Amino acid sequence: MRRSLLLILAVGAGLAAVPWLGLPAFYESILYLVLHWIALATSWNLLSGYSGYFSFGHGAFFGIGMYTTATLATRFDIPFLWTLPAAAVAAALFAAILGAVAFRVQAVRAELFSLLTLAATFVVATIILNTPIDGGPGVYMNAVAVPQMGPTAAGTFYLLALGVAMLTVLAALVVYHSRLGTGLFAIHDDEDVAEVMGVPTYRYKLGAFALSCALAGVVGGVHALFVSYVTTGDTFTIAMPLTVVLMSVLGGTRHWAGPIVGATAITLLLFAFTGGDSAILGKGLTGLVLIVVILFMPQGLLGQALTWWSAQRGASRRPGVPGQVPAAIEETKAAAIPGEVLLRARDVRKSFKGVHALRGVSLEVRRGEILGLLGPNGSGKSTFINVASGHYAVTAGHIDFAGQRISGLPAHRIAQGGIARTYQIPRPFAHLTVLENVALPAMFGAAALDRRTAQAEAWQWLAFTGLTERAHALPADLNLHQRKFLEFARALASRPQVLMLDEVLSGLTPSEIDEAVALIRRIRDQGATIVFVEHVMRAVMALCDRIVVFNRGEVLAEGAPQDVMQRPEVVSAYLGQTIEVRETAVVGDAMFKPNVAKELAHA
């Protein structure tokens, strides 16, 4: 980050000298427009590019900035520069109100958010047009004094745009390298998983939205004076948000500098073909470039270049020691009192529109044990993990963890408190490397490490799970076994007190299962507490200290594995009929899981 910061400051200082070069005002105006679009596209990217919440309402916030400045400077005679912070605050305030509502509604994601922000633009435009803020004729700013910053008025506007562009780019850089940026990129890939790993998704989206819109508001404030005549017709157009989206996508939305590349390219391309027929040619060419980039370079120009560059350079490696348990687990162990009740569920119910997935489940998880959750398909095991980790809210009942009530808390608070989980079907963050996937929960989970320490520890967890060689790969390049182990590494990296493993062994070959069982043993031997949902009976019998059997959303039996698995009601629940169970043999047809019958026979 330091190098990027120095680069931005050096380029900014160099560009600040331009007004004194004696260029014709025309060129300064062109440069003004380039900087104007850089600021707008970069500010848009801060929420939308990083988190994937594409806003088509950037024009609304830009427009609020324009009208705030226009109103304050013309009606209240406030000096122009003083109106800019007000423009930022007004835009941020509107964004915060809109975001506070929109981000609370789970359904408002992706295209719904785009539509909502687009609708907000028309609402704002209508209000401004039909109130004294504009009233119809627009606001003239000819009488507003342009501050003396450069040798000429054109030079001053250029410097104002440069200042705002610098501010925006610096904000984008800082966010990119901060926890906020990491959280936003995780939200982009899988918001639910990000939340369950400790990312405060609501707060992060709201913060990024407000910041993005505050910056758009300042750009609007400057532009109001530049155009000197503000109208709703010119301000609240769909063309503006579309242009910033295209600029960001062209440059690359996953890098702070992507919108700079896209905005510069498009503005200069359009400028190169100004006037008459060539204007149409310019627009056509711009469209063609965009289509080619979107089709063949989905990461954008900069994203593509950076991928190529890192491939040339070769990835860095900081391997940990294979198989060695990182120190984190040792620390957790030292603080533990084995046997105490760590998690207690009381009469927990969960319904999904008439489907009663949990019908009053009560169970305890004791510190240091491996508790197996068993039961036929659809009996509620995963739902229990989902409510315990905060992925779903309970319908009734309560869950206490380490003496605190956690049912009702948002998932990120539960993760920060020390519960980590894996998903039955691995849900890695698709655009983050394996290493980044593991570092994220180390930053946001119970460990709450800073970025650098989290990365260092992630290397250790990769070594522990045998993924070091794949550290720089994307999850899509992993096989199922590796993806399952990645789930493992992510859950461990948060340094949880309770680790909930949801069918981590399903789909693995027998030798891969043996490897995973050995891994879970190593974690258990360090005193970790594990809740283990599994159908692979061989592993259940080998690993679990106690088991709880679910059936139709209720606890059917609990106790020592050998005892419980022989109870007729348990065998019946699994196999659909009462059958003979001897110490190690099961006879009969498996109705729910054929492999369970086989497994039971060998357990």
Ligand X SMILES: Nc1ncnc2c1ncn2[C@@H]1O[C@H](COP(=O)(O)OP(=O)(O)OP(=O)(O)O)[C@@H](O)[C@H]1O
Half-sphere exposure of 546 (CA within 13 A, CB side): 16
Task: Indicate the residue among 200 and 380 with the shorter CB distance to ligand X.
Answer: 380
Task: Indicate the residue among 145 and 425 with the shorter CB distance to ligand X.
Answer: 425
**Cβ atoms 48, 212 nearer than 8 A:** yes
According to the binding rule CB under 6 A, does residue 281 interact with ligand X? no
Closest separation in Å from C-beta 103 to ligand X: 21
Burial of residue 445 (number of CB atoms within 10 Å: 0-12, 13-18, 19+):
buried
Closest separation in Å from C-beta 478 to ligand X: 22
According to the binding rule CB under 6 A, does residue 391 interact with ligand X? no
Task: Indicate the residue among 69 and 379 with the shorter CB distance to ligand X.
Answer: 379
According to the binding rule CB under 6 A, does residue 380 interact with ligand X? yes
Task: Indicate the residue among 106 and 511 with the shorter CB distance to ligand X.
Answer: 106
Q: How many CB atoms lie within 10 A of CB 359?
A: 17
* CA gap 321, 310 in Å, rounded: 25
According to the binding rule CB under 6 A, does residue 383 interact with ligand X? yes
For the record, the structure tokens of 589 come out as 């047809």
Task: Indicate the residue among 472 and 598 with the shorter CB distance to ligand X.
Answer: 598
Stretch that binds ligand X, among 50-58, 166-174, 243-251, 375-383 (CB under 6 A): 375-383
The residue within the footprint of ligand X, chosen from 127, 352, 450, 585 (CB under 6 A), is 352
How many whole angstroms from its chain centre is CA 392?
18
DSSP strands (E only) in 413-559 = 419-421, 498-502, 529-533, 546-551, 554-559
The residue within the footprint of ligand X, chosen from 147, 320, 378, 397 (CB under 6 A), is 378
Closest separation in Å from C-beta 534 to ligand X: 9
Pairing label, strands 419-421, 341-352: unpaired
Mask for 303-342, x = binds ligand X (CB under 6 A): ----------------------------------------
According to the binding rule CB under 6 A, does residue 375 interact with ligand X? yes
* CA gap 318, 407 in Å, rounded: 39
Element (H, E) at 426: none
Closest separation in Å from C-beta 374 to ligand X: 9
How many whole angstroms from its chain centre is CA 156?
39
Closest separation in Å from C-beta 383 to ligand X: 3
**Cβ atoms 531, 401 nearer than 8 A:** no
Task: Indicate the residue among 162 and 536 with the shorter CB distance to ligand X.
Answer: 536
* CA gap 228, 234 in Å, rounded: 12
Task: Indicate the residue among 252 and 380 with the shorter CB distance to ligand X.
Answer: 380
Torsion of CA 449, 453, 456, 461, to 10 degrees: -20
Stretch that binds ligand X, among 103-111, 370-378, 541-549, 572-580 (CB under 6 A): 370-378
**Positive or negative: CA dihedral 67, 72, 76, 79:** negative
According to the binding rule CB under 6 A, does residue 377 interact with ligand X? yes
- List beta partners, residue 359: 349
According to the binding rule CB under 6 A, does residue 232 interact with ligand X? no
Stretch that binds ligand X, among 196-204, 350-358, 415-423, 473-481 (CB under 6 A): 350-358
According to the binding rule CB under 6 A, does residue 221 interact with ligand X? no
The residue within the footprint of ligand X, chosen from 281, 292, 355, 560 (CB under 6 A), is 355
Closest separation in Å from C-beta 595 to ligand X: 12
What is the three-class DSSP state of 131? coil
**Positive or negative: CA dihedral 181, 186, 187, 193:** negative
The residue within the footprint of ligand X, chosen from 42, 51, 382, 465 (CB under 6 A), is 382
For the record, the structure tokens of 11 come out as 């380029």
**Cβ atoms 19, 152 nearer than 8 A:** yes
The residue within the footprint of ligand X, chosen from 92, 357, 370, 498 (CB under 6 A), is 357
Side chain identity, residue 472:
H
Side chain identity, residue 38:
I
**Positive or negative: CA dihedral 105, 111, 112, 117:** positive
**Cβ atoms 529, 366 nearer than 8 A:** yes
User: Which long-range CB contacts under 8 A does 591-597 form with residues at least 24 apart?
Assistant: 591/376, 592/376, 592/377, 593/376, 593/377, 593/535, 595/535, 595/536, 596/535, 596/537
Task: Indicate the residue among 286 and 383 with the shorter CB distance to ligand X.
Answer: 383
- List beta partners, residue 502: 533
According to the binding rule CB under 6 A, does residue 188 interact with ligand X? no
* CA gap 449, 395 in Å, rounded: 33
Closest separation in Å from C-beta 500 to ligand X: 12
The residue within the footprint of ligand X, chosen from 36, 58, 255, 381 (CB under 6 A), is 381
For the record, the structure tokens of 81 come out as 């520069």
Site for ligand X in 5-34 (CB under 6 A): none
According to the binding rule CB under 6 A, does residue 551 interact with ligand X? no
Closest separation in Å from C-beta 132 to ligand X: 50
Task: Indicate the residue among 320 and 378 with the shorter CB distance to ligand X.
Answer: 378
Task: Indicate the residue among 520 and 549 with the shorter CB distance to ligand X.
Answer: 549
**Cβ atoms 347, 407 nearer than 8 A:** no
**Cβ atoms 57, 125 nearer than 8 A:** no
Task: Indicate the residue among 468 and 551 with the shorter CB distance to ligand X.
Answer: 551
Task: Indicate the residue among 31 and 571 with the shorter CB distance to ligand X.
Answer: 571
Stretch that binds ligand X, among 47-55, 192-200, 371-379, 581-589 (CB under 6 A): 371-379
According to the binding rule CB under 6 A, does residue 379 interact with ligand X? yes
Closest separation in Å from C-beta 479 to ligand X: 22
Element (H, E) at 468: none
Closest separation in Å from C-beta 288 to ligand X: 44
**Count of residues binding ligand X (CB under 6 A)?**
12
Task: Indicate the residue among 71 and 382 with the shorter CB distance to ligand X.
Answer: 382
Binding region for ligand X (CB under 6 A): 352, 355, 357, 375, 377-383, 424
